Amino acid sequence: MKAPNLLILLGSPILLMLCGSALAQTAPTSPILLKGAPMGAVKFDHTPHVKVAGKCEICHHVSKPEKPLKAPQQACTDCHTNPATPPVTTKLQAAFHNPTATAGLCIGCHKTQNSQGRAAPVKCADCHKKINA
Ligand code: HEC
Ligand code: HEC
Ligand code: HEC
Ligand code: HEC
């Protein structure tokens, strides 16, 4: 009587983990080019970022009622555009940083990391590069 119950208890978290991984996508292994800004495109590499962030949800936010996600890690640029496309109100730039690039998703973490001795870019031209096209 006791043994099967214990097995179910031990088995359920493993089952949950398996279901979770079946739903999740894997992070792209080659860098993504984010285009749009006149100063040049931003090259974004998942590999070092996934290590630092720990989990995808740090950048890929949960589905929002205004415009639900089609996939757990849908491209930001599908929804965040310049100008913003209703019902979404957060425009392309604001999805990544404020107009002076002093705050926002990308910059906030870079500042924190740099205060801990890392060298993550915070200057416009260190992210937006004409050579990235
Ligand atoms: C530091 C931020 C960050 C983290 C952490 C992160 N991503 Fe991303 N991811 C991005 C950005 C930025 C893009 C580019 C979006 C675009 O092209 O509009 C992207 C794009 C993607 C895409 C391509 C989407 C498409 O349809 O083009 C997939 C798949 C993806 N990420 C999966 C993951 C997974 C899985 C994880 C966790 C293991 C993860 N990402 C963690 C920022 C992040
Ligand atoms: C399916 C559409 C969709 C996708 C894909 C998407 N977002 Fe959003 N995002 C929204 C909606 C809806 C909101 C709510 C506020 C609004 O209407 O702009 C939002 C809000 C935000 C905000 C404002 C803060 C907040 O959480 O309310 C940021 C920053 C943001 N998104 C960044 C990103 C980034 C970075 C990505 C890609 C890694 C991404 N978004 C992908 C639809 C999307
Ligand atoms: C969770 C923290 C975190 C977030 C969020 C984050 N970054 Fe970073 N990023 C870092 C760290 C740390 C480094 C330095 C990497 C190293 O030292 O290896 C870095 C480095 C970079 C670099 C330079 C890479 C190189 O090859 O020189 C670029 C470009 C970059 N990030 C873009 C972005 C963009 C765009 C976003 C927003 C979508 C973003 N980052 C969000 C932590 C973060
Ligand atoms: C950590 C990397 C990073 C830094 C630093 C950064 N940006 Fe960005 N910025 C991005 C990303 C990613 C996008 C979204 C992709 C794109 O539009 O190129 C973006 C978008 C933009 C856009 C929107 C373009 C459009 O079509 O709507 C403008 C304008 C912009 N940035 C200006 C700046 C300025 C000015 C600075 C410096 C004060 C700066 N950025 C610093 C990553 C960065």
Residue with tokens 């310049």: 82
Residue 16 confidence (pLDDT):
43
Q: Cα(46) to centroid of ligand 1, in Å?
A: 7
Beta bridge partners of 67: 64
Residue with tokens 């604001």: 94
- CATH code assigned at 109: 3.90.10.10
Is 17 domain-assigned?
no
Is 60 domain-assigned?
yes
Q: Which atom of ligand 4 is nearest to the CA of 91?
A: 27
- DSSP classification of residue 89: -
- The reported pTM is 0.91
Q: Tell me how far the alpha carbon of residue 62 is from its chain's centroid.
A: 11
Residue 25 confidence (pLDDT):
72
Is 8 domain-assigned?
no
pLDDT tens digits along 80-126: 999 999 999 999 999 999 999 999 999 999 999 999 999 999 999 99
Supply the range of the domain harboring residue 109.
29-132
Is 92 domain-assigned?
yes
- Which band of pLDDT confidence, cut at 50, 70 and 90, is reported for residue 17? very low
Is 3 domain-assigned?
no
Residue 61 confidence (pLDDT):
97
Q: Cα(68) to centroid of ligand 4, in Å?
A: 25
Which residue type sits at 118? R
Q: Is the CB of 43 under 6 A from ligand 1?
A: no
Is 12 domain-assigned?
no
3-state secondary structure 93-125: HHHHCCCCCCCCHHHHHHHHHHHCCCCCCCCHH
Q: Residue 93: name the closest of 47, 127, 132, 131 by CA.
A: 127
Helix H or strand E segment including 14:
helix 2-23
CA distance 20 to 3: 26
Number of compact structural domains in the chain: 1
Q: Is the CB of 59 under 6 A from ligand 2?
A: yes
Q: Is the CB of 50 under 6 A from ligand 1?
A: yes
Q: Is the CB of 76 under 6 A from ligand 4?
A: no
pLDDT tens digits along 31-75: 999 999 999 999 999 999 999 999 999 999 999 999 999 999 999
Q: Which atom of ligand 2 is nearest to the CA of 75?
A: 5
Q: Is the CB of 19 under 6 A from ligand 3?
A: no
Report whether 26 contacts 50 (CB < 8 A).
Answer: no
